[in-house]
Structure 1
């Protein structure tokens, strides 16, 4: 998968997450989740764009780790929604969780590759 394709996947996932968030009720517990998930999902997409412009190997690796953290946080909030919603939004979160897991796996594999290649230098 190319960087361009992966940038698009991150962008699309972030947009789909925001569309999902619009379905949440305007209750206090959802307001907090809405804010946090909106921030972390968009941050993972924006930070992946920054990864593509990494100035050095350490910079590239650091930015990948930020993407990993933001993605993991996004997945947490999606799981949290499922936990407090008594199955109301489970079907809506399934594709978001699946894509988020796939993106996280790609990022973790990339981190491992960079770390491994740094050790071999």
Structure 2
């Protein structure tokens, strides 16, 4: 039986690939420099605004659970909006979840990131 071809993913802007790499490496500092000073992040029902709050969220999110990440899909909606779907597997409740990372870009940085199933 022939393998099913994997669909080609759109080329993501550098700022998104840098954020995702930092997120995978649990490098809060590297992730934070991809964000605008006035950026917002919404994750798990809470919204974090500005570098200080996002920095605290990145530090907490990176240390709370151990997990692996697998890129499942990426789509470009327009020049400023991208959606990346990642599968996380680890020691968090449920053990496996597919999350959509919705990025809004402005001036080459992340203005808004919403993470949800």
Q: Is TM > 0.5 for Structure 1 vs Structure 2?
A: no
TM-score normalized by the length of structure 2? 0.30
More helix per residue: 1
Which one has a bigger Cα radius of gyration? Answer: 1
TM-score normalized by the length of structure 1? 0.30
More strand per residue: 2
Q: Which has the higher contact order (CA 8 A, sep 6+)?
A: 1
